[in-house]
Chain A
Amino acid sequence: MTGISRRSLLAGTTSSLVLSGLAAGGKAAAPGQSAGPTAPDTEWRYYAADQANTRYSPLDQINASNFNDLQVAWTFKTDALGSRKEYQLESTPLLIKGRLFTTAGSRRDCIALDGATGELLWMHRVDEGQRALNSPRQLSGHGVSYWTDGTKERILYVTTGYQLVSLDAATGLPDPEFGTHGIVDLKRDFDQDIDLVNSDVGLHSTPLVAKDVIVVGASHTAGDVPATRYNVKGYVRGFDVHTGRRKWIFHTIPLKGEFGYDSWIGGDADKAGNGGVWAQMSADEELGMIYIPVEQPTGDEVGLYRRGDALFGESLVAVDIETGRRKWHYQFEHHGLWDRDIPCAPILCDIPHNGRIVKALAQPTKQAFLYVLDRTTGKPIWPIVERKVEKGNVPGEWYSPTQPVPSKPPAYDQQGVSIDDLIDFTPALRAEAVEFVKNYKIGPLYTPPVISRPGQWGTITVPGLQGGTNWPGGSYDPESHIVYVYSKTQPSVVGVVPNDDPKVSDFAFVHGIEGMKPRPQIAMGSETSGEFRMPPPPRPAPGQKPGGMPAGFLVVQGLPLLKPPYGRITAIDLSKGDIAWQIAHGETPDNVRNHPALKGLKIPRTGRMGNLGPLTTKTLVICGEGGFYTNEYGVRGAMLRAYDKATGQEKGAVYMSAPQSGSPMTYMLKGKQYLVVAIGGGNYSSELVAYRLPGKA
């Protein structure tokens, strides 16, 4: 019996979206797709279940009592899609009327599969040649989006080469009324002139469909060593789903005269690039708003050419669905120097606060704060206080005197580094770690990057440049008002080095370690811009100890520098603003379990680093592991684990051949609940795996 209670259906925005999804699915159910005797079919219409990004399903056929009985219903290997194998399938597929839709393979083809059997129904591909090879975001991406008016059905996705495609969901054929033969070239009509083949812009994320508007963001080459401060600007646009016509554009880097321009010093906004929205987005159709998480302007750790608070860097911006006009914004970090793009969609949630239900949102972040705002106004639910922070020593850098710090909920992963945080499995390892960090700067969360030199290679930043939480984002239970979020404890070294080589970068300082010649970070494959590809002359590396690890490796005898957990899932109760529970997620890595220095020690499960999105159901939080380990049978793999969502207690685990690479989703089809998850990595190429309970399908 499925657990879709009347209470959950009526409990707020999130659930009303579920309701509309069910209604549409039910109405359109084709003959031969009759629901099972006990359970109606359900759907999964958005990347993270709904426009609110809850990644929640009220299903409970798969539950604590039977999770260990799950069997593989089918697998779909993506090797034949594209001209080579892929190992990094980040998709969460959609399920609509029994059909799964996703992007997959190294070329990012778009496919439809039978949800019960995994059979390929259709495939669409665009061979973009060099344009795709130049893209800053390769491989299969996060998946697709869906639109319907009840009759027409469209699948929308963005190609590797940054084109928006609209397909008929039934056939996979391009919609002839959309753009040019079903395609809109996203490098055009962008309020800036950019090269169609070589320019540094692409997108991994799915477009966001809200009403009849398709919202598309932009992403760029990572900006640790930016080739140029004049990079492409990552504006966000809304397109008409019927025609592909551009309806609006939002300048994430404001033009002169626009709101936010004055937050830049010396007109830096005119020149700066990036400021893209590479994360997923959320929408509240009732409020008529979409919520866009913006990354930094050019320079992930160096802000020389984006002086000032530089809106809308590291801000969440609410804009009108129909016009793209800004309603409000909130900047989570001012002039960040730690690559803290907002990596994922905010979760829209209706939470009890001071005796009433507030339309709120909760934004997981790389810095491991969950920022909770009123989504109508952008005002914090709990006070967010500006705190004084330290200034660094990079010449010409602009430092924000303060950073906003939420009073609630507490940080859900480690922030900053102190001696107490260092590895302590044994006193000898701790002593070695203490010696190790003497060559680095350590301190609290907003300790700035410093000029790299022997004796102080850089600042150890925690969470590291890849977060905390990254692109998969979190999950939310609308009944208990609890957010579930995975995060990793993975430190990074942020040092800054001078650069006088225009072939590397036009920045005077870049992220790097003294003695290691910085490499240009360019759009992948842009050999055409040959001047940026010339190898620099080799030069001695004083950072390299003879026979040892070069500076920048944060390991002690091959073990992580910091104490575990290395990966965790945290339950955050938004009715209180407190952490309800927190557990290590992921089996202890092989090199910890087998390390000679740890022989005889009993080490509790450490969790694993990864980029993971949990799924919440009626009773469970379900999440795969982020790394391989070798199990008691000597077999490599990873586990898909299920936890009691009320307590965090593990209730079951099933084997996967490789780690979770894309977040799981679930649906009921012909009386059977399916769990589908993308896996791959290491020497195991990507596949989708569908699990269900035993018995006749």
Chain B
Amino acid sequence: MMVEDRNIRRLGIAAGGLAILLIGGAIAHAQTADRSVWTGVYSAEQAERGKAVYTDQCAACHGASLAGGDVAPPLSGSTFLNNWNNTSAGDLFERISTTMPQSAPGSLSGKQVSDVEAYIFQANGFPAGKTMLPPAQPMMAGIKIVASKPAG
């Protein structure tokens, strides 16, 4: 309910702000505002790659089942979903790419980060689609993380 309201508001803002842009651009932007992790924003193949990166780079602290540990938060389930609800895939990308792994922050490539993110999305039950998550933060800023599957 609340989420829908926000989307409507964002669409309104987007439409208003884009009045001076080309029609095609406005349509693309409107689609972006609609995108959430429930619309198939990563591919199954990408998640599989991400799992390998995760196993090598992340699992030691966050656990094989993404359940977290004493010094690392869970990357799955209720705690994760709620702490990231209403942020964007780009926000999560930035957090991972600038701070992880804690022993060597900044060492993962953009592709590795987006692959890991695809795996995290898969583990949290978000559906796979045909496109891959892009390997850079600005390109996924419009993909909203929404904890609960929107109705309909």
Binding site for B on A (CB under 8 A): 84-87, 106, 133-134, 136-139, 222, 224-225, 339, 465-466, 490, 492-493, 512-513, 516-522, 524-527, 535-536, 538, 549-555, 558-560, 566, 589-592, 594-596, 608-609, 627-630, 632, 634, 636, 659, 681-683
Please indicate the chain B residues that have their CB under 8 angstroms from the CB of A608 in the complex.
82
Task: Jot down 27 A-B pairs with beta carbons below 8 A, ordered by A.
Answer: A85-B99, A465-B69, A513-B65, A525-B101, A538-B55, A550-B65, A552-B63, A553-B66, A553-B76, A553-B123, A555-B77, A558-B81, A559-B78, A590-B81, A591-B147, A591-B148, A594-B2, A594-B148, A595-B148, A609-B79, A627-B79, A636-B85, A636-B87, A682-B83, A682-B84, A682-B87, A683-B95
- Contact between chains at A538 and B52 (CB < 8 Å): yes
- Contact between chains at B71 and A222 (CB < 8 Å): yes
- The contact of A628 among B55, B77, B83, B149, by CB within 8 Å, is B83
Contacts known (A222-B70, A526-B103, A558-B148); A552 close to B86, Cβ less than 8 A: no
- Contact between chains at A527 and B104 (CB < 8 Å): yes
Question: Looking across the interface, which residue of chain B has its beta carbon closest to that of A341?
Answer: B70
Assess whether B60 is interfacial by the CB under 8 Å rule: yes
- Contact between chains at A555 and B78 (CB < 8 Å): yes
Please indicate the chain A residues that have their CB under 8 angstroms from the CB of B64 in the complex.
512-513, 516-519, 552
Closest 9 CB pairs of A and B: A525-B103, A552-B65, A683-B91, A591-B147, A589-B82, A524-B103, A516-B64, A594-B148, A519-B59
Please indicate the chain B residues that have their CB under 8 angstroms from the CB of A558 in the complex.
77-78, 81, 124-125, 147-148
Question: Looking across the interface, which residue of chain A has its beta carbon closest to that of B9?
Answer: A634
Contacts known (A549-B125, A594-B2); A520 close to B60, Cβ less than 8 A: yes
Contacts known (A558-B78, A559-B78, A596-B151); A134 close to B67, Cβ less than 8 A: no
- The contact of A683 among B1, B56, B63, B94, by CB within 8 Å, is B94
| Cα distance, A551 to B65, chains bound together (Å) | 8
Contacts known (A630-B85, A634-B9); A524 close to B68, Cβ less than 8 A: no
| Cα distance, A627 to B91, chains bound together (Å) | 17
- Contact between chains at B67 and A683 (CB < 8 Å): no
Please indicate the chain A residues that have their CB under 8 angstroms from the CB of B138 in the complex.
none
Assess whether B106 is interfacial by the CB under 8 Å rule: yes
Among the interface residues B1, B60, B95, B101, which one has the most CB atoms of the partner chain A within 10 A?
Answer: B60
- Contact between chains at B81 and A493 (CB < 8 Å): no
Assess whether B15 is interfacial by the CB under 8 Å rule: no
| Cα distance, A470 to B41, chains bound together (Å) | 37
| Cα distance, A361 to B5, chains bound together (Å) | 52
Q: A84-B98, A466-B69, A591-B82 are in contact. List 5 more A-B contacts (CB 8 A).
A: A465-B70, A519-B64, A559-B78, A630-B86, A683-B95
Please indicate the chain B residues that have their CB under 8 angstroms from the CB of A566 in the complex.
78
Assess whether B92 is interfacial by the CB under 8 Å rule: yes
| Cα distance, A203 to B71, chains bound together (Å) | 12
Among the interface residues B70, B86, B106, which one has the most CB atoms of the partner chain A within 10 A?
Answer: B70
Contacts known (A549-B125, A550-B123, A630-B2); A683 close to B103, Cβ less than 8 A: no
| Cα distance, A224 to B55, chains bound together (Å) | 16
Within 8 A of A (CB), among B73-120: 73, 76-79, 81-87, 91-92, 94-95, 98-99, 101-106
Within 8 A of A (CB), among B44-67: 52, 55-56, 59-61, 63-67
Question: Looking across the interface, which residue of chain B has its beta carbon closest to that of A339?
Answer: B70
Question: Looking across the interface, which residue of chain B has its beta carbon closest to that of A516?
Answer: B64
Please indicate the chain A residues that have their CB under 8 angstroms from the CB of B6 in the complex.
634
Question: Looking across the interface, which residue of chain B has its beta carbon closest to that of A554?
Answer: B77
Please indicate the chain B residues that have their CB under 8 angstroms from the CB of A517 in the complex.
55, 64
Assess whether B139 is interfacial by the CB under 8 Å rule: no
> Separation in Å of the A452 CB from the closest CB of chain B?
11
- Contact between chains at A636 and B86 (CB < 8 Å): yes
| Cα distance, A519 to B66, chains bound together (Å) | 12
| Cα distance, A634 to B95, chains bound together (Å) | 22
Please indicate the chain A residues that have their CB under 8 angstroms from the CB of B86 in the complex.
590, 630, 634, 636
- The contact of B65 among A527, A553, A560, A595, by CB within 8 Å, is A553
Among the interface residues B5, B6, B78, B125, which one has the most CB atoms of the partner chain A within 10 A?
Answer: B78
- The contact of A524 among B61, B84, B149, by CB within 8 Å, is B61
- Contact between chains at B70 and A87 (CB < 8 Å): no
| Cα distance, A549 to B124, chains bound together (Å) | 8
Contacts known (A87-B95, A224-B69, A492-B67); A627 close to B55, Cβ less than 8 A: no
- Contact between chains at B83 and A493 (CB < 8 Å): no
Assess whether B27 is interfacial by the CB under 8 Å rule: no
